[in-house]
Amino acid sequence: MNLDISIHTDLARKILTGFIKSEVTRVGFTRAVIGLSGGIDSALSCALAAEALGPENVLAVRMPYKSSSADSLEDAEKTAARFGVLTATLEITSMVEPVIQLDPQISNVRKGNLMARARMIILYDQSEAFKGLVIGTSNKTEILLGYTTLWGDMASALNPIGDLYKTQVRQLARAMDIPQSVIDKAPSADLWQGQTDEGELGFTYEEVDKLLYLLVDRRYSVDDCIEAGFGKEFVYQVMERVRRNQFKRMLPPIAKLSNRTIGYDFLYLRDWGT
Amino acid sequence: MLLNLALAQIATKLGNVQANLEKHLDYIQQAQDRKADLIVFPELSLTGYVLQDLASTVAHKPTDDDPVFKPLLKASQNLDMVVGFVDEDERHRFYIASAYLSAGRVLHIHHKVYLPTYALFDEGRFFAHGDSIRAFDTRFGRMGMLICEDFWHASPPYLLWLDGADILLFSSASPGRGLNQHDKLESAWWVENVNQSYANLFTAFIVHSNRVGYEDGLNFWGGATVFDPKGEKLANGPYYEEALTMVTLDLNQLRRTRSRLPLMRDERADIVQKELNRILSK
């Protein structure tokens, strides 16, 4: 199926920088904090925040673990330098290692979750220290697939790129002049050596983005997608992943008892009064 | 006859009526300084859009003893205005409303008839729907007001046209959506296309005032427009920025266009009525 999901990057840039500026400043802040991994998602969030708030108001935090690749650190450095934002480097090894040592059987997934949550702790501490809001770096593809750590890399005060599929992130990153090495390298959570997103997921972002676009944005049924040329197994696998990970996209449900319950009939936007 | 029109595409504070009122008075003063006869604000301009449980707390009555409407009615001694607010009736039903104020009086109130309650919209959960679509006389001729989803349906502009409105004042708080390869979002593209089509179909002036700013993740795209009875675009406000867009409407264009193209004269509303009666009695 010949499906073009490219976007008008100038328009996206205008809306997203306006969003960051509005949602940071209306609650009394002027600054932002971003975990800069060396990957394309956080680089794009960083570039958008720098443009929205001014680079002097953006703190990019590098949080390597001992096994993190040297390339990641270097790419994060290049991105920060390209956009002129402030930087800090805080190693998480000494935070997560004692927990890892508690269980010799600990799996890679558990280690990865520990690292993602350690980074969240640092970002929210820097948020208070720097008086800046944490800008999210999760894209639409990974949010839908649940390829994230709950309360880890999903945690943020606002997320400018969560409605962009990974391939659209790449397109906007190119338009915003993100360093080429960041754009070119294989996407990876860099939680252990040799890990790549596409290796773990079992399909490419190019493939899955088009499928998700039909399923989600265009409201295609599973059968419609198969008819459009996607493999039956692939479609069912992705649909099931999206369903199974709905919990990661929501706050925990509160058991209703009263006449007015947070989440059900106590309804206000976060921008209430601002 | 010329009408100096000001289109105020503002960002609002959600649920902070006092702050929004101050912005209205500021824009009204600017419009007055620029010799405007009429200023049109967007949908829910005094309250913000995604009100949810704030709906009942931001309601005001458009009377001269109301603390919000009193200064607006006073300002309307100098120029006419359309403001967006939450109206509450005696039975405590809440409406998304537009008020046309002129010479210290409320000339007309429109309650939004079509409350979108689908996709990202949830208006029907919080608001009562209006039950009338009426044109009204102003010092510039007969006008009609509609609010956002009202003109996504073809019948309200048609009814206003039959009821004598030559200037249709549309106001919106239209959340931007549908980013693709084009330089306009699908929502903006759609609205501008139908507004131009209405101008062509009704040989009338179509005025659209749409808000800007953000509410949580929603963006509002602005881009106020005016189309004349030939369907030509007379003005286009900027996108995503607050602005006061000034444009002069030459109302004599109505006569010139309709002399050439008598769609109004030839409209067979009696057939519409007959066929509607048949269709509705099925």
Task: Kindly report, residue by residue over B14-39, the tens digit of the pLDDT.
Answer: 999 999 999 999 999 999 999 999 99
**Chain A 75-104, CB below 8 Å of chain B: which residues?**
none
- By the CB < 8 Å criterion, does B57 face chain A? no
**Partner-chain contact B219 A23, CB within 8 Å:** no
Predicted local distance difference test score (pLDDT) of residue A194: 80
**Partner-chain contact B14 A266, CB within 8 Å:** no
φ, ψ of residue B217 in degrees (nearest 5) = -85, 0
pLDDT category of residue A190 using cuts at 50, 70 and 90: confident
Does pLDDT of B94 surpass 90?
A: yes
Three-state secondary structure of chain B:
CEEEEEEEECCCCCCCHHHHHHHHHHHHHHHHHCCCCEEECCCCCCCCCCCHHHCCCCCCCCCCCCCCHHHHHHHCCCCEEEEEEEEECCCCCEEEEEEEEECCEEEEEEECCCCCCCCCCCHHHHCCCCCCCCCEEEECEEEEEEEHHHHCCCHHHHHHHHCCCCEEEEEECCECCCCCCCCCCHHHHHHHHHHHHHHHHHCCEEEEEECEEEECCEEEEECCEEECCCCCEEEECCECCCEEEEEEEECCHHHHHHHHCCHHHHCCHHHHHHHHHHHHCC
Of B50, B185, B240, the CB nearest to A269: B50
Fold of A9-249: Rossmann fold (3.40.50)
Does pLDDT of A193 surpass 80?
A: no
pLDDT category of residue B104 using cuts at 50, 70 and 90: very high
Average pLDDT over residues A131-159: 97
Average pLDDT over residues A174-199: 90
Q: How far apart are CA A208 and CA A167, in angstroms?
A: 10
Predicted local distance difference test score (pLDDT) of residue B171: 98
- By the CB < 8 Å criterion, does A23 face chain B? yes
Residues of B in contact with A7 (CB under 8 A): 179-181
Predicted local distance difference test score (pLDDT) of residue A104: 95
- Tokens 């096994």 -> residue: A67
Residues of B in contact with A22 (CB under 8 A): 11, 213-214
Q: How far is CA A159 from the centre of its chain?
A: 8
**Helices B186-202 and B155-162, axial angle in degrees (round to 10):** 30
Q: B15: distance to nearest CA of chain A, Å?
A: 5
Q: B160: distance to nearest CA of chain A, Å?
A: 35
| Range in A190-199, A211-220, B69-78, B255-264 the model is least confident about | A190-199
ipTM of the shown complex: 0.94
Entry pTM? 0.95
- By the CB < 8 Å criterion, does B4 face chain A? no
Predicted local distance difference test score (pLDDT) of residue A18: 98
- By the CB < 8 Å criterion, does A218 face chain B? no
Percent of chain A with pLDDT over 90: 93
Average pLDDT over residues B192-198: 98
Q: What is the residue-averaged pLDDT of chain A? A: 96
- Asked if residue B14 lies in contact with residue A272, where contact means CB atoms within 8 angstroms, the answer is yes
Of B179, B214, B215, the CB nearest to A8: B179
Predicted local distance difference test score (pLDDT) of residue A192: 74
Predicted local distance difference test score (pLDDT) of residue B110: 98
Predicted local distance difference test score (pLDDT) of residue B85: 98
Does pLDDT of A257 surpass 90?
A: yes
Predicted local distance difference test score (pLDDT) of residue A242: 98
**Partner-chain contact A271 B54, CB within 8 Å:** no
Q: A270: distance to nearest CA of chain B, Å?
A: 6
Predicted local distance difference test score (pLDDT) of residue B4: 98
Q: Under 8 Å CB-to-CB from A243, ≥6 apart: which residues? A: none
- By the CB < 8 Å criterion, does A18 face chain B? yes
Does pLDDT of A191 surpass 80?
A: no
Q: Under 8 Å CB-to-CB from A194, ≥6 apart: which residues? A: none
Q: Which residue of A has its CA nearest to B126?
A: A267
Does pLDDT of A34 surpass 90?
A: yes
**Partner-chain contact B216 A270, CB within 8 Å:** yes
Q: In chain B, what are the domain boundaries?
A: 2-280
Average pLDDT over residues A20-28: 97
- By the CB < 8 Å criterion, does B16 face chain A? yes
Q: Which residue of A has its CA nearest to B58?
A: A273
Q: Under 8 Å CB-to-CB from A109, ≥6 apart: which residues? A: none
Q: Which residue of A has its CA nearest to B212?
A: A18
pLDDT category of residue A195 using cuts at 50, 70 and 90: confident
Residues of A in contact with B10 (CB under 8 A): none
- By the CB < 8 Å criterion, does A271 face chain B? yes
Does pLDDT of B156 surpass 80?
A: yes
Predicted local distance difference test score (pLDDT) of residue A74: 95
Does pLDDT of A1 surpass 90?
A: no
Q: What is the residue-averaged pLDDT of chain B? A: 98
Percent of chain B with pLDDT over 90: 100
Q: B223: distance to nearest CA of chain A, Å?
A: 14
Q: Which residue of A has its CA nearest to B221?
A: A15
**Partner-chain contact A274 B13, CB within 8 Å:** yes
- By the CB < 8 Å criterion, does B50 face chain A? yes
Q: Under 8 Å CB-to-CB from B22, ≥6 apart: which residues? A: none
What is the count of residue pairs from A and B with beta carbons less than 8 Å apart? 62
What is the layout of strands, in order, in the sheet containing B205-210? B136-138, B141-147, B167-172, B205-210, B225-227, B233-236
Half-sphere exposure of B76 (CA within 13 A, CB side): 25
**Partner-chain contact A8 B213, CB within 8 Å:** no
pLDDT category of residue A59 using cuts at 50, 70 and 90: very high
Average pLDDT over residues B87-113: 98
Q: B236: distance to nearest CA of chain A, Å?
A: 17
Predicted local distance difference test score (pLDDT) of residue B47: 98
Does pLDDT of A2 surpass 90?
A: no
| Count of beta carbons in the 10 Å neighbourhood of residue A56 | 12
- By the CB < 8 Å criterion, does B123 face chain A? no
Of B11, B181, B215, the CB nearest to A6: B181
Average pLDDT over residues B137-164: 98
pLDDT category of residue A22 using cuts at 50, 70 and 90: very high
Three-state secondary structure of chain A:
CCCCCCCCHHHHHHHHHHHHHHHHHCCCCCEEEEECCCCHHHHHHHHHHHHHHCHHHEEEEECCCCCCCHHHHHHHHHHHHHHCCEEEECCCHHHHHHHHHCCCCCCHHHHHHHHHHHHHHHHHHHHHHHCEEEECCCCHHHHHHCCCCCCCCCCCCECCCCCCCHHHHHHHHHHCCCCHHHHHCCCCCCCCCCCCHHHHHCCCHHHHHHHHHHHHHCCCCHHHHHHCCCCHHHHHHHHHHHHHCHHHHCCCCCCCCCCCCECCCECCCCCCCC
| Count of beta carbons in the 10 Å neighbourhood of residue A255 | 6
Predicted local distance difference test score (pLDDT) of residue B107: 98
Is 3.40.50.200 the CATH classification of the domain at B2-280? Answer: no
Of A18, A265, A273, the CB nearest to B219: A18
